[in-house]
Chains A and B, each alone.
Chain A
Amino acid sequence: MYRLLAVFLVAALINSPAADADAQDRATLSGFVTDASTGETLILANVVLAVGEIGAATNTAGYYSIAGIPPGTYDVTVTYIGFREYRERVTLAPGEARRLNISLEPEIFEAGEVIVTTEREEQEEIRRIGVAQLSTNQVKRVPALLEPDVFRSLQLLPGVKAASDYSSGLYIRGGSPDQTLILLDRTTVYNPSHFFGFFSTFNPDAVKDVRLYKGGYPAEYGGRLASVVDIYNKDGNRVERDGSLSVGLLASRAIIESPYSRGSAMLAVRRSTLEPLLAVLQNQDIDGIPEQFFFYDVNGKVNLDATENDRLSVSFYTGKDQLRLPFADDASVDLKYGNFTASANWTHIFSDKLFSNFTLTSSRYFSLPLFNIGGTEFERDNRVYDISAKGDFEFLPSEQHAIRAGFWSGNFTFRLQDIFDAQPTLGERIQSFYAAGYLEDVYKPTPQWTVRAGVRGNYFGSGRFLRLEPRLSIEHQPSPAIRLQAGYGRYYQFVTLITSELFSGSDIWLTTDDGVPPAYGDQFVAGVKTQPVNNLNVDFEVYYRSMEQLFELDPFLPDAAGLDYPELFRFGRGFAYGSEVLIERQKGRINGFAGYTFGVTRRRFPGFENGKLYAPKYDRRHDLNIVANFDLFRRWRFTGVFAYGSGQAYTEPSRQFKLIDNPLGSSVKDAVWSPFNEARLPAYHRLDLGISRVGRFFGFADYELQVQVLNVYSRRNVWFYFYDFEDDNTIDRTEIPQIPVPIPNLSLTLKF
């Protein structure tokens, strides 16, 4: 495989038409595509020359470049969902390198307006295999429990599952949450959760673009077995100062954006507003009410458009959750956890054929729980530091080749200290240098064929592991409406996450080391993407994933003191396969999507449950999600979301016994005997509805009032069953529900 890729890459370079004599006469068209109303760069906008089926998509900097264009006159068409199509006729001279920056006007729906769209308008990059993009408008429209959330919106896409109504964790194509790389402005985020996992840290006001690589992701990414969520914050309005304020039931948000002489800036703040409610509950002497609970996050970015070819930006995110909860007389927990990320980015265009991006990143995660129970303290100091530098290059030697290469190198430090009763009981500290480099060629021998071949090399210092990851995908477009796609990739993962579906506030990341090799897996994906009629995408994908050398904390380990590092883990394997269907109408008064997923995932750990294959809890055979938006009237918008999922795996105890002669304590030892995770919960289904009204607020601001109801028809979905041993030697089964009743949500947003 590696040899094949090497031959392919070398041959691609040697045979590049750039070497041809007439290459000197070819022209190049490049530039940035922006939103005309804000100046924000648009990621993955489509730029097409109407003649000759030549085109490109903007990259993550909003930049496009089309090389190898024969001299002549062309109609340049630029499209992006939610914006009016842009057309301009350009005449390119032999050898000309034309910079064409393009601003797209947002499409504003007016009653009675007929929106003209191009035939078979497609976003090329989004139509790649395994890729999905989510607009922040959609995130804000989807009915949400208390607060709009990026991850909960992602959970609606085919191939992405939610573990429960209470978890924003992403279970993508059979992978656990740690198998997904989460990037914010190119920086790794290690705990993307607020409210102990209830929703994600990403403030939808600040987010510009969310891209999900569900599988078969390209060589520029690495370090996770399954998938990538790549999130970019807004640059800030480059045209005029604006801002908005949103007041919700759980949290309130504010954002301000402004241009300045050489660029733009953005600051977004979100904070929970639960204190008044907590005070009322505390005054009523209700048990289990925290003495203190809040969370906040702040996102900021400053951009400097230094020259036509240089753009610099500095961005940061900081967020924290804090809880103080007495849970009995003489027992309490204090918990602080959060993230800080910062990145400095330099985009430099060396030439019309060579684009580059350099980033310095810093990411810090901390979780500091302190328990005081009966005069005995248990304290944990859990921190992750990740500092890195990365560079990405795009080289366009001809219209047939786009060569991408880059590096990512840094230092990962993890520290975990436990103190029990004033005595240190655990002290782990691992510091690891890591480095990765990749090379990828996107080869288009004809307009109908695209071959992406790449290889990524990874080195992880903790354990001194060097691994190579080949990636290959092929797309054939027999007609403008049909894309046939297939891909393969090998992926390695050098970190693992200790977490709980119940509580993400004390997540711990551990790494490979001597005796703990990296996990790896192969992914095979294939798909058909079609557009049977304009503005209707019907996509189908199948996948198979293997997972080898999975390493995770031994779940039975009561005490890690004095153990060698490999003794903390259990090692296993798994696989996942499935198929996904997505039917999507992106534009029009009625738009939305329906996604169906058929999925199977299994795990096996030697010595666990006799080494049998088992289904993890998040294994669910069928999922159906329907998201529909209705813009029927000028000021009113309706949104409905229906979700159906067949039952999740769980353990149904079949027999029980007790040990009654316990020599260590006075309690009887109850135990159950069960086939592990061989039962299925009842099917899950839920309908959420939302309505919003937009207009002017006393003449000084635009407003949007949202009223939403979750679980409209009061479906009592089962989260899990809890088995309690009763004093009369029976076992009582209690059904723990997911959101059991209709939950209303109300928010008001003012835009200045």
Chain B
Amino acid sequence: MNPSARLLSVFIAVTMLVGCDGLGTSPDAPVTVVEAYLVAGQPMPSVRLSRTAPVNDTYDATELAIRDAQLAIDELDSADQVVESTPFVFDESTGAYVPSVGVDVAPSTKYALRATLADGSVVSSVTTVPGDFELRRINTTSAVYQSPDQVEVDVTRSAAPGRQAIFVFSVQSLDPRVESLTPLYADFLGDDEPVDLSDVLITESPPINEQNYDVNSDGTLTVRLPWIAVAFYGPNRILSSAIDDNLYDFLRSQAVQQGGSTFSPGEIPNVISHVEGGTGIFGSLAQISIEIDVLR
């Protein structure tokens, strides 16, 4: 063996020993899923507890529901001390936990969810309900689809400590019919009969920062309805929701799972859930609604 070959052999042998990958594999164990949305000013909602399903299986929230957990939602004060605790019981008819007592959700208030499972494991999460806000003005209650005169509303601002308010806008058709679909959504749903309208009955925007909107001299925000959100001609309800951090993080990360963003194709990050000991969402929002008529 000549000196070149001998030297190369040594180098190659040494460096092939270098590679040692520190990645482990993740267990396939089921993970507890929480689903609950607190809406300011409305009664305490039901809470779903279930388990993740294997990816090659079917997911059925009722079938996979956890029925034997001890669950409560506590209202907390500024020092995180419990002000009031609301116990929940499992309701077979809905497959969810419902509050044992009637309590309304207060705006700008912190709530903690705690569920103790039969095996002793604990799932918990905390949310701060966004500040309530209200509608001050609407420029019109009917508008021609895609006309330059868009629907504009003035709303008061929702308090969000430490950050600007973040909104999600939803448009709910009050008379959903196939023949009322706007061209864009008619094309999305295709020609296959029967047309399944369920996914477009309420369209929703991605999270939108408050800073996108004009701030008026009286401190209100002027919000315009983009036509892209309208799936049906006719009567529609517009819902404007100020969302908490948990919902914001869940929505933005769940959207990334569906594609887009800067991840390479095939890279799927997990959702950001803020649920200790599990996943899912324990979120909150403040909401207003108005009704308009979209004309052809």
Residues of A within 8 A of B (CB): 163, 328-331, 373-376, 420-421, 423, 425, 478-479, 481-482, 484, 498-502, 528, 530-532, 538, 540, 542, 552-553, 555-563, 577-579, 581, 598, 600, 602, 608-609, 613-618, 621, 648-651, 653-667, 669-678, 681, 719-723, 727-731, 736
Q: In the bound complex, how far is the Cα of B264 from the Cα of A736, in angstroms?
A: 13
* Given A374-B184, A654-B28, A660-B61: A672 in contact with B257 (beta carbons within 8 A): yes
Least distance between B212 CB and chain A CB atoms (Å): 5
Q: In the bound complex, how far is the Cα of B52 from the Cα of A656, in angstroms?
A: 5
Least distance between A575 CB and chain B CB atoms (Å): 11
Measured between beta carbons, the chain A residues less than 8 angstroms from B4 are: 481-482, 528, 530-532, 538
Most chain B CB atoms below 10 A, which of A558, A621, A648, A662:
A558
* Given A528-B8, A579-B18, A615-B23: A555 in contact with B268 (beta carbons within 8 A): no
Q: Closest residue of chain B to A729, judged by CB?
A: B58
Binds A, one of B104-112, B115-123, B201-209: B201-209
Check B187 for interface membership: any CB of A closer than 8 A: yes
- The listed residue (A331, A558, A600, A673) touching B21 by CB distance below 8 A is A600
Q: In the bound complex, how far is the Cα of B269 from the Cα of A678, in angstroms?
A: 11
Binds A, one of B66-74, B81-89, B279-287: B279-287
Q: Closest residue of chain A to B61, judged by CB?
A: A660
- The listed residue (A560, A650, A731) touching B56 by CB distance below 8 A is A731
Cβ contact within 8 Å between B184 and A659: no
Cβ contact within 8 Å between B254 and A671: yes
Which 6 A-B pairs have CB atoms at the shortest separation, nearest pair first?
A562-B211, A675-B26, A720-B266, A665-B204, A530-B4, A375-B146
* Given A656-B55, A671-B271: A538 in contact with B8 (beta carbons within 8 A): yes
Least distance between A330 CB and chain B CB atoms (Å): 4
* Given A376-B227, A676-B268, A731-B56: A661 in contact with B48 (beta carbons within 8 A): yes
- The listed residue (B3, B37, B239, B264) touching A163 by CB distance below 8 A is B264
Cβ contact within 8 Å between A657 and B266: no
Q: In the bound complex, how far is the Cα of B46 from the Cα of A669, in angstroms?
A: 17
Measured between beta carbons, the chain B residues less than 8 angstroms from A561 are: 208-209, 211-212
Cβ contact within 8 Å between B257 and A329: no
Q: Closest residue of chain A to B51, judged by CB?
A: A657
B12-55 CB mask vs A (1 if < 8 Å, else 0) is 10011011011111101011010101010000011010101111
State how many residues of chain B have any CB contact under 8 Å with chain A: 106
Q: Closest residue of chain A to B45, judged by CB?
A: A661
Cβ contact within 8 Å between A540 and B8: yes
- The listed residue (B24, B170, B261) touching A555 by CB distance below 8 A is B261
Q: In the bound complex, how far is the Cα of B229 from the Cα of A723, in angstroms?
A: 26
Contacts A374-B185, A563-B209, A656-B59 supplied; 16 other A-B pairs, CB < 8 Å: A421-B226, A538-B5, A558-B252, A559-B209, A559-B212, A563-B211, A598-B16, A600-B19, A657-B50, A657-B53, A658-B59, A670-B254, A671-B257, A720-B266, A730-B58, A731-B56
Q: In the bound complex, how far is the Cα of B264 from the Cα of A126, in angstroms?
A: 34
Interface of chain B residues 222 through 271 with chain A (CB within 8 A): 224, 226-230, 239, 241, 243, 249-258, 261-271
Cβ contact within 8 Å between B262 and A555: yes
Cβ contact within 8 Å between A674 and B268: yes
Measured between beta carbons, the chain A residues less than 8 angstroms from B285 are: 663-664
Interface of chain B residues 154 through 192 with chain A (CB within 8 A): 164, 166, 168, 170, 172, 182-188
Cβ contact within 8 Å between B280 and A659: yes
Q: In the bound complex, how far is the Cα of B286 from the Cα of A664, in angstroms?
A: 11
Measured between beta carbons, the chain A residues less than 8 angstroms from B168 are: 664
Measured between beta carbons, the chain A residues less than 8 angstroms from B281 are: 659
Cβ contact within 8 Å between A655 and B55: yes
Q: In the bound complex, how far is the Cα of B254 from the Cα of A672, in angstroms?
A: 9
Cβ contact within 8 Å between A678 and B26: yes
Cβ contact within 8 Å between A621 and B19: yes
Chain B binding surface SS class: mixed
Check B198 for interface membership: any CB of A closer than 8 A: yes
Measured between beta carbons, the chain A residues less than 8 angstroms from B209 are: 559-563
Q: In the bound complex, how far is the Cα of B28 from the Cα of A373, in angstroms?
A: 41
- The listed residue (B59, B184, B208, B279) touching A328 by CB distance below 8 A is B184
Cβ contact within 8 Å between A329 and B183: yes
Complex A-B: 14 CB contacts under 8 Å: A376-B227, A481-B3, A530-B4, A558-B251, A616-B264, A621-B21, A655-B53, A656-B59, A657-B279, A673-B270, A676-B268, A678-B23, A719-B266, A730-B58
Measured between beta carbons, the chain B residues less than 8 angstroms from A374 are: 146, 182-185, 227-228, 230
Measured between beta carbons, the chain B residues less than 8 angstroms from A721 are: 266
Measured between beta carbons, the chain A residues less than 8 angstroms from B255 are: 558
* Given A532-B2, A542-B15, A660-B61: A651 in contact with B35 (beta carbons within 8 A): no
Cβ contact within 8 Å between B204 and A375: no
Check B218 for interface membership: any CB of A closer than 8 A: no
Q: Closest residue of chain A to B164, judged by CB?
A: A562
Check B153 for interface membership: any CB of A closer than 8 A: no
Q: In the bound complex, how far is the Cα of B53 from the Cα of A729, in angstroms?
A: 10
Measured between beta carbons, the chain B residues less than 8 angstroms from A481 are: 3-4
Most chain A CB atoms below 10 A, which of B23, B196, B287:
B23
- The listed residue (A498, A581, A670, A729) touching B262 by CB distance below 8 A is A498
* Given A373-B228, A553-B262: A528 in contact with B11 (beta carbons within 8 A): yes
* Given A376-B228, A556-B261, A658-B61: A666 in contact with B19 (beta carbons within 8 A): no
Check B199 for interface membership: any CB of A closer than 8 A: yes
Cβ contact within 8 Å between A666 and B280: no
Q: In the bound complex, how far is the Cα of B24 from the Cα of A530, in angstroms?
A: 39
Q: In the bound complex, how far is the Cα of B258 from the Cα of A723, in angstroms?
A: 9
Measured between beta carbons, the chain B residues less than 8 angstroms from A542 are: 11, 15, 18
Q: Closest residue of chain A to B37, judged by CB?
A: A663
Q: Closest residue of chain B to A651, judged by CB?
A: B268
Least distance between B253 CB and chain A CB atoms (Å): 5
Cβ contact within 8 Å between B31 and A655: yes
Check B272 for interface membership: any CB of A closer than 8 A: yes
Q: In the bound complex, how far is the Cα of B39 from the Cα of A600, in angstroms?
A: 48
Cβ contact within 8 Å between A423 and B7: no
Q: In the bound complex, how far is the Cα of B239 from the Cα of A444, in angstroms?
A: 75
Check B60 for interface membership: any CB of A closer than 8 A: yes
- The listed residue (A617, A658, A669, A678) touching B266 by CB distance below 8 A is A617
Least distance between B62 CB and chain A CB atoms (Å): 9
Cβ contact within 8 Å between A657 and B261: no
Q: In the bound complex, how far is the Cα of B60 from the Cα of A163, in angstroms?
A: 37
Cβ contact within 8 Å between B264 and A673: no
Least distance between B105 CB and chain A CB atoms (Å): 12
Q: In the bound complex, how far is the Cα of B229 from the Cα of A665, in angstroms?
A: 11
Cβ contact within 8 Å between B52 and A655: yes
Least distance between B13 CB and chain A CB atoms (Å): 11
- The listed residue (B55, B182, B202) touching A666 by CB distance below 8 A is B202
- The listed residue (B46, B54, B199) touching A655 by CB distance below 8 A is B54
Cβ contact within 8 Å between A558 and B266: no
Q: In the bound complex, how far is the Cα of B56 from the Cα of A665, in angstroms?
A: 26
Q: In the bound complex, how far is the Cα of B49 from the Cα of A660, in angstroms?
A: 12
Q: In the bound complex, how far is the Cα of B197 from the Cα of A205, in angstroms?
A: 55
Measured between beta carbons, the chain B residues less than 8 angstroms from A728 are: 58
Cβ contact within 8 Å between A579 and B15: yes
Q: In the bound complex, how far is the Cα of B14 from the Cα of A577, in angstroms?
A: 13
Measured between beta carbons, the chain A residues less than 8 angstroms from B280 are: 657, 659
Measured between beta carbons, the chain B residues less than 8 angstroms from A482 are: 3-4, 7
Q: In the bound complex, how far is the Cα of B6 from the Cα of A540, in angstroms?
A: 12
Measured between beta carbons, the chain A residues less than 8 angstroms from B25 are: 675, 678
Q: In the bound complex, how far is the Cα of B156 from the Cα of A54, in angstroms?
A: 81
Cβ contact within 8 Å between A556 and B268: no
Q: In the bound complex, how far is the Cα of B182 from the Cα of A376, in angstroms?
A: 13
Measured between beta carbons, the chain B residues less than 8 angstroms from A664 are: 168, 170, 202, 204, 239, 241, 243, 251, 285
